[in-house]
Amino acid sequence: MKYFLSILAILVFLCFTQNTKAQKAPSKTLLWRISGNGMQKPSYLYGTMHLKDRRLFFFGDSVYKSIEATEGFAMELDPIEMMDSLFTKMGETDTSTLLKQLLDEKKFKRVSKKLEKKFGMPADKISRKRLIKERENWYYNVQKKDDMKSMVDLYLYNIAHKQGKWVGGIEDVSDQFAIKDELGKDINIEDYLDDDNEEKKKAYLKKMISMYADQDLEKLDLWISGSQSKKSNDLLLVNRNIKMAYRMDSLAHVRTSFFAVGVAHLPGETGLINLLQTKGFSVTPVFSSKKIAPENYVYDVKEIPWVKFAEPEGAYTVEMPGKPSDLKSPGSEVNFKIYADLVSNTVYMSGFSFHGTDEKPRGYDEPYDKVICNQRI
């Protein structure tokens, strides 16, 4: 679970620390209607934050009405595809460069003891991958007791899914991993040594949430302008926006859709609002008459059948809420099937292995023991 969230956590930075050009006085709203360009019915674009802070979940009534009116819902990444990729990578050995190879000998010696205390492991065992993971998980240290179980995007995704709508992603998972790897090339070791870093992050997060709640895209755009190099901006926003606008064009012509993406992707000359307008769409602001507390939104829930599957070897048959991923732990003989419900933070897992005994499964000639692990964590 935390692997998925750590990937998304970095998007907090992607959404608020990039260099974009200010847009002409956009309306104070995060919800935009996409119409025209040959479409009979409108789709919608909504700016989100990839956080679980309860203050972000008081959506306007128009947000819920827009989801109900559309046939599909798409966030940046399809959670199922993301989990498939993450579980695959979990079994991979960390072969990234060690910290001691990234720093000169004098600097490494200076920071070793402090890093060992922070990471709880010998400094010469700390890898670049471990440093990236620590950077991505920064916001876990500032979570509050009243936080929601899932992030904004996943919360809305779940509502659409329970309403029986098509759900999926806009971007390719491989693109996100490529961005993560690219970001990880530049490691500033001082970021991990600053004792005041946590307080700075809390202050940054507080301001970020306040500006988001104000729904002022112009203010957000001006705030983030100039904070990154052109190379970083192209990597984190511009290139992704171009691809997302292309995908949104295609998806909206297949079915009416509600698109939920990080809010920094919306404004500016290279933002999604302008790019979609350039493609011939009419993109207009949508306002709400009131905000609704998350516990007060009531909607019709459709029964979603669980997915039934059987192991190829015929060891067992089981049902899970969704399509499970494969998980093979290094050095383990157990083949796991795993499904992570990211909204309820529930993990479903099943697995089996064969060992010596007198019983024989169909198609097997060697003696074996069958061990079935079928559990909800």
Nearest to 265 by CA among 207, 220, 201, 206: 220
pLDDT at 177: 67
In angstroms, the CA 312 to CA 96 distance is 34
Alpha-carbon distance values, 344 to 1, 112, 262, 268, 377 (Å)? 11, 39, 22, 35, 11
- Determine contact, residues 162/104, Cβ cutoff 8 Å: no
**Is 41 exposed, middle or buried, given 0-12, 13-18 or 19+ CB atoms closer than 10 A?**
exposed
Nearest to 43 by CA among 34, 55, 32: 34
Mean pLDDT by 10 residues, the chain (377 residues): 46 42 61 96 96 93 98 94 75 71 80 82 82 68 81 95 95 75 62 68 81 87 68 75 95 97 91 96 96 95 88 79 77 75 83 61 50 48
Nearest to 7 by CA among 39, 43, 50, 46: 50
Q: Which amino acid is at 257?
A: S
pLDDT at 361: 53
Q: Which amino acid is at 264?
A: A
pLDDT at 19: 39
pLDDT at 42: 98
- Determine contact, residues 329/87, Cβ cutoff 8 Å: no
Residue 198: Cβ within 10 Å count: 12
pLDDT at 139: 61
In angstroms, the CA 272 to CA 247 distance is 11
In Å, how far from its chain's centre is CA 56?
A: 16
pLDDT at 132: 72
Going by C-beta distance under 8 Å and a sequence separation of 6 or more, which residues neighbour residue 356? Answer: 366, 367, 368, 369
Q: Name the token pair of 290.
A: 């009131």
pLDDT at 7: 44
Q: The tokens 């409108």 sit on which residue?
A: 42
pLDDT at 14: 43
In Å, how far from its chain's centre is CA 32?
A: 22
Nearest to 8 by CA among 148, 177, 130: 177
Going by C-beta distance under 8 Å and a sequence separation of 6 or more, which residues neighbour residue 17? Answer: 224, 227, 228
